[in-house]
């Protein structure tokens, strides 16, 4: 018998936690939403009664209320969600030490070596499901398979509070009819490309010619064909063994729509300061800068550029991101949010090959200025010192990027 992998996904996690601690919300249409005042007013998670009424993750609150007039909106409580997530992970750890988180509410478990102690994979899944329900008051859907990709398909297949087994003996029957969007890493852009090519199901993707997919999607085409066929040998990694951070990013929704290059430049400087600070804390420099923008109709794009010399200078990161933005966005719509990322990190203490063309003296001065600003902010608070460009717009200057930093861990091992 080969590997035995579970994927556990807490159902409507944020909403379930709110209903568990406030029984009056149980069975009602509930949506956990960001702050309308700070323009983060979108649905983060909705309960199943709300979902049945048409409420979807990512909707603006006003759209959700149109779909479900009696919707109950509650603000998020991240410390509580992290606490419950930690308790759920402790339950997982009772059955295997090979537990790989995928966000707060999902995790893969390799239970291949757990069978002698706890029984067959389906028995382990049933035990975990019962314990999470009894001890935490929430439910999980669990996929049981021989690889991570298919196990995740299983946890998504039937919700809430379900266990789905997908193995080679029933793979084609269960998976092939599913829409191609159900496959991990088939996002909206990839989905459009596939559907334009007449590929609408996972089965069609699995049977498609690999060379054709590579022409359409690049190297990812071959990877998706492999996933669609139920093949994936990616190991489940212990939390302590997950690859070191290889990128640092920050993005946020602006307090008002951004309507000019100058607006975007202000936001990019704000965000780049927090990215550069995190790089310095990690003892790293980035060699690639990436910019992300989202317009007021929630359309988005991402562009990146390699820089000549590794850097942790906020000014250099901001100006590189701004240059990328100006070359790629032509103001068809106002922007709702932007993001900046430094990636392909290298050790800041290692030797650096100096460029004959880059202004290394200026970069060193910028980094020293950043270091001085770090010291002032640590002593007197973030808003105690700001760039003059930021102060040109009092509303945008209220953004505190230190509250938005996210460091995701990718699916693929480094």
Instruction: Tell me the residue length of the chain.
Output: 414
Catalytic residue among 24, 38, 80, 106: 106
State which H helix or E strand residue 82 sits in: helix 78-93
For residues 167-195, b (16+ Cβ closer than 10 Å) or e, as one string? beeebeebbbebebeebbebeeebbeebe
* Crossing angle between the packed helical segments 210-217 and 188-196, to the nearest 10 degrees: 130
Q: Which residues pair with 406 in a beta bridge?
A: 249
Residues 6+ apart with CB under 8 A from 318: 265, 268, 269, 271, 272, 273, 340
Active site residue 18: no
Q: Which residues pair with 342 in a beta bridge?
A: 248, 289
For residues 7 and 145, give the distance between their C-alpha atoms in angstroms, rounded to a whole number: 8
Q: Would you state the structure tokens that stand for residue 386, as one six-digit string?
A: 């700001």
Identify whether the C-beta of residue 285 lies closer than 8 Å to the C-beta of residue 346.
Answer: yes
* Beta-carbon count within 10 A of 209 CB: 10
Cα-flanking dihedrals φ and ψ of residue 190, to 5°?
-65, -40
Identify whether the C-beta of residue 46 lies closer than 8 Å to the C-beta of residue 30.
Answer: yes
Task: Identify the residue whose tokens are 């990013």.
Answer: 249
CA dihedral sign, ordered 8, 12, 13, 18: negative
For residues 84-109, b (16+ Cβ closer than 10 Å) or e, as one string? bbeebeebbeebbebbbbbebbbbbb
For residues 266 and 397, give the distance between their C-alpha atoms in angstroms, rounded to a whole number: 8
Name the residues annotated as catalytic: 106
């Amino acid at each position: 018998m080969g590997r035995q992998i579970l994927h556990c996904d807490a159902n409507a996690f944020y909403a379930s936690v709110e209903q568990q601690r406030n029984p009056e919300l149980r069975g009602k249409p509930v949506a956990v939403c960001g702050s309308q005042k700070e323009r983060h007013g979108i649905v983060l998670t909705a309960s199943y009664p709300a979902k049945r009424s048409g409420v979807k993750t990512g909707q603006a609150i006003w759209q959700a209320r149109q779909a479900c007039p009696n919707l109950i909106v509650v603000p998020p409580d991240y410390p509580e969600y992290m606490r419950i997530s930690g308790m759920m992970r402790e339950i997982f750890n009772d059955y295997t030490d090979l537990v790989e988180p995928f966000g707060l509410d999902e995790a893969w478990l390799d239970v291949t070596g757990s069978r002698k102690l706890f029984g067959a994979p389906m028995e382990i899944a049933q035990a975990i499901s019962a314990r999470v329900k009894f001890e935490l008051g929430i439910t999980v859907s669990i996929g049981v398979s021989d690889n991570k990709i298919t196990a995740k398909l299983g946890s998504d297949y039937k919700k809430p509070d379900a266990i789905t087994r997908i193995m080679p003996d029933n793979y084609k029957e269960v998976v092939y009819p599913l829409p191609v969007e159900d496959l991990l890493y088939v996002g909206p852009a990839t989905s459009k490309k596939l559907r334009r090519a007449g590929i609408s199901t996972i089965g069609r993707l699995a049977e498609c010619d690999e060379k054709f997919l590579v022409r359409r999607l690049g190297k990812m085409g071959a990877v998706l064909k492999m996933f669609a066929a139920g093949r994936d040998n990616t190991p489940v990694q212990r939390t302590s063994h997950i690859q070191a951070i290889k990128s640092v990013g920050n993005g946020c929704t602006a307090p008002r729509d951004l309507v000019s290059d100058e607006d975007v430049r202000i936001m990019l400087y704000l965000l780049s300061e927090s990215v550069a600070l995190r790089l310095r804390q990690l003892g790293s420099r980035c060699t690639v800068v990436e910019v992300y923008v989202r317009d007021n109709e929630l359309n988005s794009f991402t562009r990146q550029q390699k820089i000549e010399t590794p850097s942790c200078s906020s000014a250099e990161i901001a100006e590189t991101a701004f240059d990328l933005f100006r070359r790629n966005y032509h103001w068809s719509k106002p922007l709702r949010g932007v993001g900046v990322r430094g990636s392909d990190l290298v050790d800041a203490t290692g030797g650096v090959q100096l460029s004959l063309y880059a202004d290394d003296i200026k970069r060193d001065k910028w980094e020293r200025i950043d270091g001085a600003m770090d010291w002032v902010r640590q002593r007197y608070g973030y808003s105690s010192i700001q760039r003059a460009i930021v102060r040109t717009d009092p509303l945008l200057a209220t953004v505190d990027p230190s509250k938005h930093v996210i460091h995701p861990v990718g699916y693929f091992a480094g």
